[in-house]
Amino acid sequence: MLFKNVMVDDELKMQLITLIKENRISHAQLYLSSAGAHSFALAIAFAQYLSCENPNETDSCGICPTCQKFEKLAHPDLHLIFPNCITKNVKKDPDSKQFAQQFREFVFQNNYHIDIDDWLKELDGENKQASINIRDCSNIINQNSIRSFEGGHKMYIIWCADRLYHAAAPKLLKTLEEPENKTLFILLTENSDKILTTILSRTQLVKIPQIKSDVIKKQLIEDYNISETKAEDIAAICEGNYHKAKTLATESTQLREMVSQFETLVKSIYSLSRKESNEQIGYPDVKEIINDIVAKGREEQKNFLKYLIRGFRNMLMMSTDNENLIRATADEKKIIQNYKDMVTLKNANAILNECNSAIYHIERNGNSGLVFTDLYLKLSQIVSPA
């Protein structure tokens, strides 16, 4: 992976390159990003530049034997660690090594825009708690005691480090604090608050900003040959997440479905909060939506709740005359305009807290149908004008 192909600000790329040139590389780095920010690609590009035989001022050469191995993610000193779980093919004691080839293919298929939800689907493990386990940590420690194959750095890229199993994480502490010479750890996460503080204290933080909307728009047109209007709509609502953007670009029915579900749910909450007729409330339609979302699995349930949060945020921006901060498609803006009075500065925090609480209970295997029904009823109480 070349730096020029990573969707990250050029300023950050040059900062990382400067660290290498000035030999100020921290042996343990934590890349903190929002969802869909191409952070895995950046980690590979950094490791490749560090190992390249003929790097230039701004990038790896891309043609030396080392770069060719990185192109295939097959460099013997590059070790990829990622969440894994028991599957149909791996029935006991899973670790990253057993899924290495499958993970490489997954990365290539998605052009390095990888997402944990998609990886769980690839593993057929959406309803399992995939983790970086104690066997992965033992493999890192054992490998770290061996000299590098090609005389350069040994590089460990730990994707979704927030899924580093807490019983396993302490095994890495000494290795992170006192690694063997010429060892590089890059931990990637979107949730630094879920990582042990003892791990955080041993790493150098690198913050990766969201991908800019104009960059996403340009990339969507190039990758999917869609209209400028559609690309602009998607770029406006994907919140800097190119993974979400490409999903919306290829599955336009999914966006239409979510917009329709959002409108039905909001309309019903509004009607219930105003004590309108049963026909106007339309609870059977809400029940059908809840059943449909529940049937899709926990990750999709969380995705819808996050979509709901964004919709309520946009309503608040509309009701407080901050329309320039709204991130929505043309269809969504019509819904927001109709129901903007539901969300105010007084109830916004309560709405957010209830949505986040629902996500919390979904993550902990709560009964999804009850969680969504409870959220629906609580939101109708919160937005009630009485």
- The tens digit of pLDDT for each residue in 282-315 reads 999 999 999 999 998 887 898 889 889 989 999 9
| Cβ–Cβ under 8 Å, residues 116 and 83 | yes
What is the CB neighbour count within 10 angstroms for residue 368? 20
Q: How far apart are CA 336 and CA 373, in angstroms?
A: 22
Six-digit token pair at 304? 């819808």
Q: What's the pLDDT at 35?
A: 84
Six-digit token pair at 290? 């809840």
| Cβ–Cβ under 8 Å, residues 7 and 215 | yes
Q: What's the pLDDT at 263?
A: 94
Instruction: Write down the domain spans for the chain.
Output: 3-208, 211-250, 251-382
Q: Which residues, 6 or more positions from 111, have their beta carbon under 8 angstroms from its beta carbon?
A: none
Residue 38, pLDDT above cutoff 80: yes
Q: How far apart are CA 228 and CA 28, in angstroms?
A: 41
Q: What's the pLDDT at 124?
A: 80
Residue 349, pLDDT above cutoff 80: yes
State the distance between the two ends of the chain, measured CA to CA, in whole angstroms: 57
Average pLDDT, stretch 159-182? Answer: 85
Confidence of residue 121 (pLDDT cuts 50, 70, 90): confident
| Cβ–Cβ under 8 Å, residues 236 and 211 | no
| CATH class, 3-208 region | alpha beta
**Structure letter (DSSP) for residue 131:** B
Q: What's the pLDDT at 331?
A: 84
Angle at 168 between CA 44 and CA 31, to 5 degrees: 30
Residue 127, pLDDT above cutoff 60: no
Residue type, 241: N
% of the chain at pLDDT higher than 70:
98
What is the DSSP code string of 229-291?
HHHHHHHHHSTT-HHHHHHHHH-HHHHHHHHHHHHHHHHHHHHHHTT--HHHH-HHHHHHHHH
Q: What's the pLDDT at 308?
A: 92
Q: Please provide the size of the chain in residues.
A: 386
Confidence of residue 167 (pLDDT cuts 50, 70, 90): confident
pTM equals 0.74
Q: How far apart are CA 130 and CA 80, in angstroms?
A: 15
Six-digit token pair at 45? 């590009």
Sheet arrangement for strand 154-158:
78-81, 154-158, 183-189, 28-33, 204-208
Q: What is the pLDDT of residues 330-344, one digit of tens each?
A: 788 899 999 999 999
The residues facing 154 across adjacent strands are 183
% of the chain at pLDDT higher than 90:
60
pLDDT averaged over every residue in the chain: 90
Q: What's the pLDDT at 240?
A: 86
Confidence of residue 100 (pLDDT cuts 50, 70, 90): very high
Residue 66, pLDDT above cutoff 70: yes
Q: How far apart are CA 46 and CA 114, in angstroms?
A: 17
Q: What's the pLDDT at 232?
A: 85
